[in-house]
Amino acid sequence: MTTMLIHHEIFAAHRTAAGHPERPDRYRAVEMALAQSRFDDLLRVEAELAELDVTRYVHSNAYVDALEAARPTDGFVYLDGGDTMMEPSTWEVVLRGVGGTLQAVDSVLDGTAQNAFVACRPPGHHAETERAMGFCLFNNISIGARHAQLKHGLSRVAIVDFDVHHGNGTQEIFYSDGSVVYASTHQMPLFPGTGATDETGVGNIFNAPLRAGDGGDELREAFRDRIIPAVDRFEPELIIVSAGFDAHERDPLGSLSMTADDFGWATRELMAAAERHCEGRLVSVLEGGYDLQGLRESVSAHVDELVRG
């Protein structure tokens, strides 16, 4: 089994205001984790710059055009209160995040790699059709899913999200689209306030909210009772993972109690589902994770399982 790592030094360039949790050190922590000798066999590829038009697969023309027009030449432009911002390097950073996601999808579907991990920042799963929010500008995962359908002819793509925050953007984009299943574990109540079990779309949305303090036992229950059965019924041709590690017990932005071992377990379950339904084809894209030690440990456990197959 070949695991592809898609990365680029530009992902450490997107700066945020002082004290902001979505900071360049996040990418450096991931790079440090994956520099360990046990990851020497990763197929390492630099993220390409996406064409802007691919973002229109899931975002409106008005939104994409306004975001492009908002690019600053210096300082910060704030898009979502104080949470989501752009500075001069941000445009290239987010387009390489999209480009890396598309490369991962292409490589897994053409057989170059069995699975792939895209080590990009900022995250993307809060970005809606017409709104940037929650640190996110473009919804990498959603663009990747639509790309798999439009370029490769897939009819069923499953997205599984284990970030501590609900992926409201991904849910909104596919809420009325039965060709994509979105299944999420997340803390609730917590930002962004979505993700209740009665948010079901056209029967393609499966939310499994967790309570503050929940840990590995509750994650396993949610996967076994709701997440994996939903994926199995759907029989996807590709699984894409919103790999957020801010459910870790050390993370400052949530109150769940996951450990790196829990993320490793979840990864094994998703890989087993991929083996059952889509010849092991799985793409994982980094979302949250804001404690650097927790992020390093969790990414290591996640990619360990991808490599082991």
Active site residues: 126
CB 306 within 8 A of CB 141: no
| H-only helix segments in the chain | 24-34, 61-69, 90-109, 140-152, 168-174, 216-222, 228-234, 260-278, 292-308
Instruction: List, as one string, the DSSP characters of 240-252.
Output: EEEE--TTBTT-T
Amino acid present at 24: P
User: 29 near 288, Cβ under 8 Å?
Assistant: no
**Within 10 Å of residue 149's Cβ, how many Cβ atoms?**
18
Q: Which two tokens stand for residue 53?
A: 């038009």
Mention every residue, 6+ apart, whose C-beta is less than 8 A from residue 124: 97, 136, 137, 138, 139, 140, 141, 142, 169, 285, 287
Angle (CA) 175 195 158, round 5° = 50
Q: 200: Cβ–Cβ under 8 A, 6 or more apart, which residues?
A: 206
For residue 110, give Cα distances in angstroms to 43, 104, 186. 15, 10, 32
Q: Would you say the C-alpha torsion 284, 21, 166, 83 has a positive or negative sign?
A: negative
Tokens of 133: 């929010």
Amino acid, res. 40: D
